[in-house]
Amino acid sequence: MAVQVPIPVRFEDVFPAGAYAVAVEPVRDFEQSKGGAQVQARGKETRELLWSVEVIDPDPNAREKSVRVKIAAPHQPVLPEAAPGVPFRPVEFDGMTVTPYVNGNRRLAYSLRARGVRAPGQKSAAPAKQG
């Protein structure tokens, strides 16, 4: 089979009802974090720091209401401002990919990644230069 992973996907296909970010936190490298030291994971291709964005999916048909989207970036991504009166921030992700895998319960799961995060309707940032 010639399917290459990660598989590029559109934000609208992953989150048809939109998405709301809760927080951004560093992804820990569990193999390197020993003896109390906390080491942040890095992307395999870019070697940039990995960040995890906790996302609420408001789609009533979504299997998972809370998911995480990983972003490789040299600095912590900044989320848009929260909507007035709500703790959630409406967001869209640029350059999304999905990688299917079998989780610890032997069930199909998906790892979501993106190049960036922004407020809905804003233009996406210029893609990072390769090299």
Q: What is the pLDDT of residues 67-115, one digit of tens each?
A: 999 999 999 999 998 878 888 899 999 999 999 999 999 999 999 999 9
Q: d(Cα 34, Cα 52) in Å, to the nearest integer?
A: 21
Residue 2 lies in a domain: no
Number of structural domains found in the chain: 1
Q: d(Cα 24, Cα 63) in Å, to the nearest integer?
A: 22
Residue 130 lies in a domain: no
Residue 40 lies in a domain: yes
The residue that leads in pLDDT, 33 or 77, is 77
DSSP string, the chain: ----SSEE--HHHH-TT-EEEEEEEEPB-TTT--TT---B-B-TTT-PBEEEEEEE---TT-S-SEEEEEEE-SSPPPPPPPPTT-S-EEEEEES-EEEEEE-TTS-EEEEEEESEEE-TTSPPPPPPPP-
Residue 113 lies in a domain: yes
Which pLDDT score, from 0 to 100, does residue 63 have?
Answer: 87
Which pLDDT score, from 0 to 100, does residue 131 have?
Answer: 34
Residues spanned by the domain of 114 = 7-118
Which pLDDT score, from 0 to 100, does residue 87 have?
Answer: 82
Check pLDDT > 60 for residue 29: yes
Q: d(Cα 118, Cα 121) in Å, to the nearest integer?
A: 8
Which pLDDT score, from 0 to 100, does residue 125 have?
Answer: 58
Q: What percent of the chain has pLDDT over 90?
A: 65
Residue 102 lies in a domain: yes
Taking all residues of the chain, what is their mean pLDDT, rounded to a whole number? 88
pTM: 0.85
Chain centroid, CA 50 distance in Å = 9
Residue 32 lies in a domain: yes
Residue 123 lies in a domain: no
